[in-house]
Structure 1
Amino acid sequence: MDATDLLPLLEQLDDNIDDLEEALKPILDGSVIETSKKLPVLDKAKFHVLVTYALESLLFSYLRLHGVNAREHPVFRELTRVKQYFAKITALETEPEKRTLTLDKQAAGRFIKHGLAGNEKIDLARKELEAKERARAQLKASLLAKKAEATSEKSSKNPESNSDSDDEEDAKPAPVAKPSDKGTSDDKKKKKRKDKKNKKNLNPEERQEVKKERRKKKGEMRKTKNLK
């Protein structure tokens, strides 16, 4: 290559170095530990990985410039190791995928049955359980059928019984009105009032005679009670 062709490349390199110095100035002015203290955990990991990658890449380019096969040098292995850390950080930054796996109960049951097959005791117990479950299901079905038949029969009989009861009620005679006791009580009260009025109109001699008659009646009533 001619010197004229190298000049623009050197100028570009000089500009890139100036840009790099400006970018690395805050890091170069202080220590790496002090600058990383202010950062959160994930950013701190990124910072350390980037610094090591920059140093290792500078060494790699330095070896290449001096004609050394850098791929066989330990620096190349360090670069690959740092790249693995980059992959780990990106995996942490990305959200974990939701699990779509679900348990197939039927398939699990089939596997368990096949695994337990061959044992006579287990096979007999399983058959007994299946037979019991079938018998229970048949009993439930028969009971439900009987209940349905009974309800249908009752519903068919109910309209006839209702019609018979209506006919019987129509055939019954109307209740006869009983004489009320109020009339008799009123008559008794009227008689007592008349007797009181008559007593007031009687003379004293007549009153004494009435009293004597009452006493006689009471005495006779007592005698009859004693005889009984």
Structure 2
Amino acid sequence: MKLSLIDQAKCNSSIAYALNSLLFAYLKSVGQDTKDHAIMQELSRVKSYMGKIKSAENKSQGPATVIDKEAASRVVKHALSGNSKIDAKNLEKTRQQDNANKFLQSMAERSLPGVGTHKRFSDDEDDGKGEGAKGNVKDRKKRKTAVK
């Protein structure tokens, strides 16, 4: 028969306590003083182990405290709500971003179709011939006509 770990510990500690109690009873029956005898230390050691086993058994059965979920959710909710000054700044920042996005949207709707959607060559770009910003006039005209 297989026993769980806690049951095995209970069984072993009970056997140890029973044997030590029998020895204690024998010493008392013979008339020996047991107050300073080593059997008293052994009995107290076994008792402490039995107490540890009992506390481990209580812990394994589950928590003794019951958590109030509603109160815990209120505490967490209020703790995470944040600072009102910071929340106000963040709200203002998001409003400004929304306004900027709306403005850009309206500008894009008002502009001519196709304008701003292609890549333009800047005057500072190198044309690959090592001539720098000035480049060849014919090449620049070709680029401008190709872009349109």
TM-score range, shorter chain: 0.3 to 0.5
- Give TM-score, length-normalised by structure 1: 0.29
- Give TM-score, length-normalised by structure 2: 0.41
The one of the two structures with greater contact order (alpha-carbon pairs below 8 A, sep at least 6) is: 2
Bigger Cα Rg: 1
Which has the larger helix fraction? 1
